Amino acid sequence: MFSRKKQPLIKSLIAKGTCVQGDVLFTDGLRIDGEVHGDVRADVEPSIVVISESAQVQGRVQAAHVIVNGTVLGPVHAGELLELQPRARVTGDVHYKALEMHQGALISGQMRPSEVVLQEAPPLKLASSGG
């Protein structure tokens, strides 16, 4: 259904034991092992954010590809793919084009797939009755 494109490199890390107070704006890839009290948003596409098992984000998360295995307290917006790993805990609405959810992942909120624009099918032509 969706082709696997080459993912951007993860160039930034918020390490375990680090707590960021405020919004985080990033390019390419970001891995969060610590805490963020603010929104996490990709500046350009393609982008990837990984929220590890030890991480907690209190705020909105937005990127093309979002992988969650930790805790998010806020809405999640994945422009392409949202992956919810077994220890993912999301309290907030999730928006995605494609979803991969593993057993054990929990969402407390609404799941909202993005609107996929379908091309209008050409009108059907009925076969004329031969006579």
Model pLDDT for residues 6-45, shown as the tens digit of each residue: 788 999 999 999 999 999 999 999 999 999 999 999 988 8
What whole-number distance in Å separates Cα of residue 79 and Cα of residue 69? 18
Residue 126, in any domain of the structure: no
SS (H, E, C) 33-72: CCEEECCEEECCCCCEEEECCCCEEECCEEEEEEEECCEE
What integer pLDDT is reported at residue 130 of this predicted model?
A: 54
Residue 2, in any domain of the structure: no
Task: Tell which wins on pLDDT, 41 or 2.
Answer: 41
What whole-number distance in Å separates Cα of residue 72 and Cα of residue 33? 12
CB atoms near residue 49 (< 10 Å): 26
Could you tell me the residue range of the domain that residue 16 belongs to? 10-110
The angle subtended at Cα 71 by Cα 69 and Cα 76, nearest 5°, is 90
Count the helix, strand and coil residues of the chain and give each as a percent rounded to the nearest 5: 0, 50, 50
Residue 130, in any domain of the structure: no
If pLDDT is split at 50, 70 and 90, which confidence band does 64 have?
A: very high
What integer pLDDT is reported at residue 118 of this predicted model?
A: 46
Residue 128, in any domain of the structure: no
Looking at the 3D structure of the chain, how many domains does it have?
Answer: 1
The helix (H) or strand (E) run that includes residue 20 is: strand 19-21
Residue 69, in any domain of the structure: yes
Residue 33, in any domain of the structure: yes
Q: What is the mean pLDDT of the chain?
A: 89
